[in-house]
Structure 1
Amino acid sequence: MPGSAGTYHRGVTIKYEWRGDFGNASLNALHADGFGHPVAQVDWRARLERHSLGWVCAWEDGSLIGFVNVVWDGGVHAFVLDTVVAQSCQGRGVGARLVALAADEARAAKCSWLHVDFEDHLRPFYFDACGFRETPAGLIAL
């Protein structure tokens, strides 16, 4: 599949796919595990098809273990949302690889900027592991 890449970690191959095929139940379960909330019933497929430039899925032994969504404005700005890795797989570089592939695909789509918002405890991940730099931004809580 175009956009597929594999990495080998501790005797297991992790497969990464741009716009990978997944089931809503799998992504809802991963999201709940990674973010520590009850399993929701989100129609991810419909949401992604409507708003996303694409997404990256990470697979290990046929199980969805990582995901990142890349939404965009239809022009030069792309935004990373919902970066999530299964708790059992965190700390293995899966998230950084997801974001790196998302950046590669946004660049290939002629985007000039990749934005991300995150909670303060994720600063080391996004700045150190993923290479984002700090910029001024604004936010209105709605």
Structure 2
Amino acid sequence: MNSASGLGKDRSVTFTYETSEQGVRRVLQSMRAWLATMGLDEDFCGTAEITLAEVMNNVAEHAYHGEARDTALLKLRLTPEGCEFDLTDQGEPMPGLSLPTGQLPTLVGPRAELPEGGFGWFLIRTLSDRLTYTRENGANHVHIRLPFTHG
């Protein structure tokens, strides 16, 4: 279990990253290293990495159609309750200007016909306790909070 006791009022960092697979990979490594230097355990660091990898890879793949043509921002802030992540990009908006519901795909049928994707938003919603999306002035904003404790 992580604890944020003893944290100063504003424990935060901002990363700028290229909206490509390599850019996402690099910023995830930097984010995980920063969380570790802040004293967060491997379990929490891994949860943060998996959650952000799902969101950021979706941005690279869908908002930018797999083209590394821009940069995006990732802001992290530690609070007594958890870690807040704010992601901002200038890519295409979310369909319907809302986050996917995160419902699991149907897992019935022959193995060869089972879906390969469709699990990411379910995972993100399961691991976070706060998740919002807004589109303002041509920019997408996703806010996620991962709590230090679940349940």
TM-score (norm 2): 0.30
Higher strand share: 1
Bigger radius of gyration: 2
TM-score (norm 1): 0.31
Where relative contact order (Cα < 8 A, 6+ residues apart) is larger, the structure is 2
